[in-house]
């Protein structure tokens, strides 16, 4: 018997070979797409609360489409870029933000 409804594509579309050209390794692709899928999932869960911390899907979505499939389509369409972050540079930026926050809170007058 054949089903007359739409067939689930899973992660076969876009093809994995096309996706591997977007990053240096399959492991980086997994981390990259999983992080974006978590952001999409958080976006959908925050819609009801009015908290829009993350950007929603950048491609047209279908009913019941999984966040990972959406993320992989975004990567395939070159809507996202994967950039390496220098750990030392990230730590220096975090330290600067913490220092600025501490300096901002100490400037307030105490009554």
| Residue 59, token pair as written in the block | 């491609």
- pLDDT tens per residue across span 12-43: 688 888 998 988 899 999 999 999 999 999 99
Any idea where the domains of the chain sit in the sequence? 16-104
- pLDDT tens per residue across span 39-83: 999 998 888 887 788 888 999 998 889 999 999 999 999 998 878
Q: What is the three-class DSSP state of 16?
A: helix
Domain 16-104: CATH class, spelled out? alpha beta
Distance (Å, rounded) from C-alpha 38 to C-alpha 61?
16
Contacts of 34 (CB under 8 A, 6+ apart): 68, 71
What pLDDT is recorded for position 59? 93
Distance (Å, rounded) from C-alpha 101 to C-alpha 103?
5
């Amino acid at each position: 018997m054949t089903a007359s409804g739409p067939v689930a594509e899973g992660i076969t579309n876009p093809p994995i070979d096309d996706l591997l050209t977007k990053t240096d390794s399959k492991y980086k692709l997994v981390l990259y797409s999983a992080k974006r899928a978590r952001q999409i999932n958080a976006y959908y869960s925050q819609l009801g609360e009015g908290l829009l911390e993350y950007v929603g899907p950048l491609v047209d979505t279908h009913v019941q489409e999984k966040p990972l499939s959406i993320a992989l389509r975004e990567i395939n369409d070159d809507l996202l870029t994967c950039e390496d972050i220098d750990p030392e540079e990230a730590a220096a930026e975090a330290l600067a933000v913490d220092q600025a926050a501490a300096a901002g809170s100490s400037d307030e007058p105490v009554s």
